[in-house]
A and B are shown apart, each in its own frame.
Chain A
Amino acid sequence: MSERKRRIGFVGCPPEEELAARRSQDLVDLDNLVEGVEPRSESVLPRTTCRIIRRILDNALALDLDEVLIDEGYGKCDAARGLAEVLEELVDVPVVRTQNENREGAGTPISDSNLPLRRKMELILDDLAKPERLDLTPEPDPPAAIWGVPAADFAIYDLFPDGTQVLGWTRCLENRTPADWRLEMSVPHDAPTVFFAQTFCPKNVVASHLARRHGGLHVDVDGVMSQPVRAKIEAFLHFKKVRGRVR
Chain B
Amino acid sequence: MALLGDFGTSWTKLLNTGSEEPRVLPTKDAHDITADIATGHNARRRAPRHVNELIALAQGGERLIGEEEFLLLDVGSRDVKYVRLRRGELVDMDWTTTCGALTGFTLELLGRYYGLDYDAVEPSKKSVSVTCGVLGMEQLFELVSQGVPESEAVARFARGIAMNAYRFIGQPKTFYLSGGMCENRLFQHSFPEKVEVRPLGRFVLLEGLMVELTRATRAGTAG
Tell me how far the C-beta of A82 lies from the nearest C-beta in chain B, rounded to whole angstroms.
Answer: 25
Q: Within the complex, what minimum Cβ distance (angstroms) separates B128 from chain A?
A: 24
Distance A235 CA – B96 CA, assembled complex (angstroms): 14
A236 touches B (CB below 8 Å): yes
Pair B89/A234 contact, Cβ less than 8 Å: no
B95 beta carbon closer than 8 Å to chain A: yes
Say yes or no: B53 contacts A231, CB within 8 Å: yes
Residues of A within 8 A of B58 (CB): 235, 239
Q: Is the CB of B41 within 8 A of A235?
A: no
Cβ of A239 and Cβ of B90 under 8 Å apart? yes
For residue B49, which residues in chain A have a CB less than 8 angstroms away from its CB?
none
A234 to B55, CA, bound (A): 8
B97 touches A235 (CB 8 A): no
- Of the four ranges (under 10, 10 to 19, 20 to 34, 35 or more), the interface on chain B belongs to 10 to 19
Which B residue sits closest to A217, measured CB to CB? B93
Asked if A228 lies at the interface with its beta carbon under 8 angstroms from chain B, I say yes
Instruction: Point out the residues of chain A lying under 8 angstroms from B41, CB to CB.
Output: 227
B55 close to A228 (CB less than 8 A): no
Contact B94 A240 (CB under 8 A): no
Q: How far is the CA of A232 from the CA of B96 in the complex (A)?
A: 10
Tell me, yes or no, whether B54 is within 8 Å of chain A by CB.
Answer: yes
A235 to B95, CA, bound (A): 11
Which residues of B have CB within 8 Å of A235?
52, 54-55, 58, 83, 90, 93
Interface residue A226 (Cβ < 8 Å from any Cβ of B): yes
Residue of A nearest to B83 (CB): A235
A224: shortest Cβ distance to chain B, in Å?
Answer: 13
Shortest C-beta distance, B209 to chain A (Å), equals: 15
Instruction: Give the size category of A's interface with B.
Output: 10 to 19
- Nearest residue (CB) in A for B90 is A239
Whether A231 lies near B90 (C-beta < 8 A) is no
Cβ of B81 and Cβ of A228 under 8 Å apart?
yes
Decide yes or no whether A5 CB sits under 8 A from chain B.
no
Residues of B within 8 A of A238 (CB): 55
Nearest neighbor of B89 in chain A, beta-carbon distance: A239
Residues of A contacting B53 with CB < 8 Å?
231
Is there contact, CB below 8 Å, between A232 and B54?
yes
Q: Which residues of A contact B152 (CB under 8 A)?
A: none
Give complex CA distance A234, B58 in Å: 13
From residue A163, how far is it (CB to closest CB) to chain B in Å?
Answer: 22
Is A228 touching B90 in the complex (CB atoms < 8 A)?
no
Q: Give A234 Cβ to nearest chain B Cβ, in Å.
A: 5
| B207 on interface, CB distance cutoff 8 Å | no
Best-surrounded residue of A226, A231, A234 (most CB of chain B within 10 A) = A231
In the complex, how many angstroms separate the beta carbon of A201 from the nearest chain B beta carbon? 16
Is B79 in the interface zone, CB < 8 Å from A? Answer: yes
* Contact residues in B for A232 (Cβ distance below 8 Å): 54, 93-95
Q: A227-B41, A228-B79, A231-B54 are in contact. Are A236 and B90 (CB under 8 A)?
A: yes
12 A-B residue pairings within 8 Å (CB atoms): A226-B97, A227-B97, A228-B81, A228-B97, A231-B53, A231-B54, A231-B95, A235-B54, A235-B55, A235-B83, A239-B58, A239-B89
Q: Give A residues with C-beta under 8 Å from B.
A: 226-228, 230-232, 234-236, 238-240
A-B interface, 10 closest residue pairs, ranked by CB to CB distance from nearest: A239-B90, A235-B54, A228-B95, A231-B52, A234-B52, A235-B55, A231-B54, A228-B97, A238-B55, A231-B53
